Amino acid sequence: MNATKRSNPELVLLVDDEPGVRDLLLSQVAYLGYRCQAVSDAHEALRFLMSGGRPDLVLSDINMPELSGLDLLRRIKGIDPLVQVVMVSGLQDLETVRTCLREGAYDYVVKPFELDDLGNTVERALERGRLIRQNEEYRRHLERMVGEQTEEIRQTRDMALLTLAKLAESRHNETGMHLDRMAQYSRRLAEELRKGPYASQVTLEFVDHLHKSSPLHDIGKVGIPDAILMKPGPLDEAEEAVMKTHTTIGGDTLRYVVEKFERQTFLTMGMRIAYHHHERWDGTGYPDNLRGPEIPLPARLVTLADAYDAITSARPYKEAHPHDEAIRRIERDRGRHFDPVLVDAFLRCHEDFALIHRRYNDSEVTKIGDGDSGVLGAIAPDTL
pLDDT on residue 376: 33
pLDDT on residue 176: 56
pLDDT on residue 52: 86
Kindly indicate whether the domain formed by 171-379 is annotated with CATH number 2.160.10.10: no
Strand, helix or coil for residue 230: coil
Which of 228, 380, 217 has the alpha carbon at shortest distance from 305?
217
pLDDT on residue 63: 87
Q: What is the pTM of this model?
A: 0.57
Q: Which residue has better confidence, 363 or 267?
A: 267
**Across all residues in the chain, what is the average pLDDT?**
83
Which of 202, 134, 207, 215 has the alpha carbon at shortest distance from 169?
215
pLDDT on residue 380: 31
Q: What is the pLDDT of residues 214-245, one digit of tens each?
A: 988 998 888 888 778 777 778 889 999 999 99
Per the CB < 8 A criterion, the answer to whether 374 and 368 are in contact is yes
Strand, helix or coil for residue 64: coil
Q: What is the pLDDT of residues 54-111, one digit of tens each?
A: 899 999 998 888 899 899 999 999 888 889 999 988 766 678 888 888 888 988 888 8
Q: What is the pLDDT of residues 297-309, one digit of tens each?
A: 999 999 999 999 9
Compute CA distances 233 → 127, 177, 222, whole Å.
80, 22, 19
CATH 3.40.50.2300 domain locations along the chain: 11-141
Residue 20's Cβ-count burial label (10 Å; 0-12, 13-18, 19+) is exposed
Dihedral (CA of 280, 223, 380, 138) sign: positive
CATH 1.10.3210.10 domain locations along the chain: 171-379
H helix or E strand, kind and range, residue 229: helix 226-229
Task: Count Cα neighbours of 316 within 13 Å in the Cβ-side half-sphere.
Answer: 10
CA atoms of 233 and 171, how far apart (whole Å): 16
> What is the pLDDT averaged over residues 155-180?
62
CATH class of 11-141: alpha beta
Q: Is the pLDDT of residue 211 over 60?
A: yes
